[in-house]
A = this chain, B = another copy of it.
Amino acid sequence: MTSNPIAIAIHGGAGAITRDSTSPEVERAAREELETALHAGHRILTAGGTSLDAVVAAVCVLEDAPRFNAGKGAVLTHDGTVEMEASVMDGGTLRAGAATLLSRVKNPVKLARLILEQSRHVMLSGAGAEALASTNGLELEDNPYFVTPRRIEQLERALAVHPTATELSESEGEAGSTGTVGAVALDGHGNLAAATSTGGMTNKLSGRIGDSPLIGAGTYADNRSAAVSTTGHGEMFLRVAAAHELCARIRHGGASLREAASAVIQEDLSRIGGHGGLIALGPTGEIVFELNAEGMYRGAIDASGKLTTAIFANDPAR
């Protein structure tokens, strides 16, 4: 136990999430799931655990919730398969782990964590990564566990408009990518950590790798600046190295956390036509949510212990 500040923030994806398209029941259920994830991470922090443990625990809750596009409920590729990916980073040591092209690992973020701790590599993929997961006792599931009726419908709608994968417009893919999940945390030892997990975008080409498993794009953590997890049109976040760019603006440009987050989303990302959002947490416990989309599932338990969740862009946190 410690008197240093502890804090956690999470997201469940940014995109075309509007009040008109969201029933009160859906909103209530989504907020409850965000709260469950926040408590799962925060409980670890209050018990003196690490930020790495906290972000993994929070992301696991969201991976297990079919509403979000990660783990169970991941979106489907053009071929109707799931190809999940995740990454995690420790801001104290800059150690990182990432996994992509996963079709059987129940909680991709746990495999990213395992790679961080046990592999001489940072990023593994496909069968090789899943063999490591299996050897180390991580739960594997068959395809039916991951695939939900809602994702099948989404793919069918996408295929009706764009029967070949290469015809898919970027805006269509963007809408289909809503639901990536992520977490950032600060523990009582003063260490930041970040994690991100996703199924990618609906109707993506098999073999596509997005920003979520890329250290520097979807995830970055450095005790000298911030912990960051991003969500949105992955290709755009990748091109601006969004998560690392936010940290660099603080470390080299002297920006505040809020200034850096705003510049990455409203300037760097918007300049190339990208949409999405991010969560960022600084070494003093400051939390920032930034988005240029209609909505982003998000929430936090701040250094004072106050829990808030929000969904739409102009949602007052509550």
Binding site for B on A (CB under 8 A): 89, 93-96, 98, 100-101, 119-129, 132, 166, 168-170, 173, 204-210, 214-217, 220, 234-235, 238-241, 244-245, 248-249, 252-253, 255, 272
Contact = CB atoms under 8 A, between A and B. Distances in A.
Given A240-B94, A252-B253, A209 B245 contact: no
Among A120, A126, A214, A220, chain B packs the most CB atoms within 10 A around the CB of: A120
B241 A127 contact: no
Complex copy number for this chain? 2
Given A217-B216, A272-B94, A125 B122 contact: no
A238 B205 contact: no
A166 B120 CA distance: 7
Contacts of A120: 166, 168-170, 173, 235
Given A252-B249, A272-B94, A124 B207 contact: yes
B96 A239 contact: yes
B244 A241 contact: yes
B215 A100 contact: no
B241 A220 contact: yes
Given A120-B166, A121-B208, A216-B217, 17 more contacts: A93-B272, A94-B240, A95-B239, A96-B238, A120-B169, A121-B204, A122-B239, A123-B210, A127-B207, A128-B205, A128-B208, A129-B207, A132-B205, A216-B216, A241-B241, A241-B244, A244-B244
A102 B214 CA distance: 18
A113 B242 CA distance: 22
